Every structure is written in structure tokens, then in C-alpha cells.
């Protein structure tokens, strides 16, 4: 029965955290990902404060509700940051550095890999479609394809070659 309460605590906390994150993203709609920064910094600071101030005295269900549920849905940076601080407090400087390096590098690499897999053989929108849905991303309308230089550089680094399907739309091939 105890595990049932924990599952319910995670579900309830996750719902609250997800709604809070959604509210921040709806409120802070900018070209630079300030909303992500805000949820990460607020989540890290608040989770760290709660964990180190009250964590040892918290009931395990409440701790699970807050840290796995709310902060888990609000931001994953909170858990990463607390883990790193714990390693530093344990004077495990190599582990803390490795944690930062592994999470930072591998998470970004995972995102790049996910993008690579997602776009293989997929039709990319032309500029008219892009302007309709994402007007801020259009850089050069004469190109008639997604004109996003950073993505083009990532594609080149990954060895992706563009092609054109029978409808004249740009595709990516490995």
C-alpha cells in the first residue's frame, strides 16, 4: 500500500510541476529560451533550498511528491544540481566534475542524435510553411528551405546530406 501512495504522490506532483512549467512557458515567450532558464534556475534554487533545509525531516511521501513529482516535471535541472552539490559536499570533486560534464555533453549529444534520427528521410517545410508557423526562424526567403545556419552546421557535422523529394521539398539523408 505504501508504494501506491508514492505512485499517487509522483502523479499529483508531476501534474502540478507540468502545469507550472507550462504557465512559465506561456508567460515568457521570447526568441531566446528564457523560460527554460527560469524554470531551471527557480527549480534548482527552490529544490536545493527545500532539500537542504527540510529534506531530512520530510516524510518520504512528501519528499517524493516534491522532488520526483513537482520538480521532476518542472525541471530536470533541479535533480542534476542537487546530485552535483551532494558530490561536492562529499568532497568528490572528480565525481561532481564528471557529473557536470557527462550530463551537459551527453544530454546535448542525445538531443542532437534525437534530431538526427527524427529528421532522417523526413520532409522539411519550405519557407512559406515555415513563415506561417515559425516566422522568427526564417532568415533567407530566397533559399526556399529552412534557413537556420546553426542547424545546417549541425547537419554538416553529422554528415547529413540534403536532398529534394519529388515535390521539391528538402529532405535529409544519412
Q: What span, in angstroms and rounded, lies between the C-alpha atoms of 47 and 19?
A: 17
pLDDT at 174 over 80: no
Question: What pLDDT does 73 receive?
Answer: 94
**What are 30-84's pLDDT values in tens digits?**
877 888 889 988 998 899 888 888 877 889 899 999 999 999 999 878 778 888 8
Phi then psi dihedrals of residue 39, to 5 deg: -65, -35
**What are 132-160's pLDDT values in tens digits?**
554 444 444 443 334 344 455 556 665 65
Amino acid at each position: 500500500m505504501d508504494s501506491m501512495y508514492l505512485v499517487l504522490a509522483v502523479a499529483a506532483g508531476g501534474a502540478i510541476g507540468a502545469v507550472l512549467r507550462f504557465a512559465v512557458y506561456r508567460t515568457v515567450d521570447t526568441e531566446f529560451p528564457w523560460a527554460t532558464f527560469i524554470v531551471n534556475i527557480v527549480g534548482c534554487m527552490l529544490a536545493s533550498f527545500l532539500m537542504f533545509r527540510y529534506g531530512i525531516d520530510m516524510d518520504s511521501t512528501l519528499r517524493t511528491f516534491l522532488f520526483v513529482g513537482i520538480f521532476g516535471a518542472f525541471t530536470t535541472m533541479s535533480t542534476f544540481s542537487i546530485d552535483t552539490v551532494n558530490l561536492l559536499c562529499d568532497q568528490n570533486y572528480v565525481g561532481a566534475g564528471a557529473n557536470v560534464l557527462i550530463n551537459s555533453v551527453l544530454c546535448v549529444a542525445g538531443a542532437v542524435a534525437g534530431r538526427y534520427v527524427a529528421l532522417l528521410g523526413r520532409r522539411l517545410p519550405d519557407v512559406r510553411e515555415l513563415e506561417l508557423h515559425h516566422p522568427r526562424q526564417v532568415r533567407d526567403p530566397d533559399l526556399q528551405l529552412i534557413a537556420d545556419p546553426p542547424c545546417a552546421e549541425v547537419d554538416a557535422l553529422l554528415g547529413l546530406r540534403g536532398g529534394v523529394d519529388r515535390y521539391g521539398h528538402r529532405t535529409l539523408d544519412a
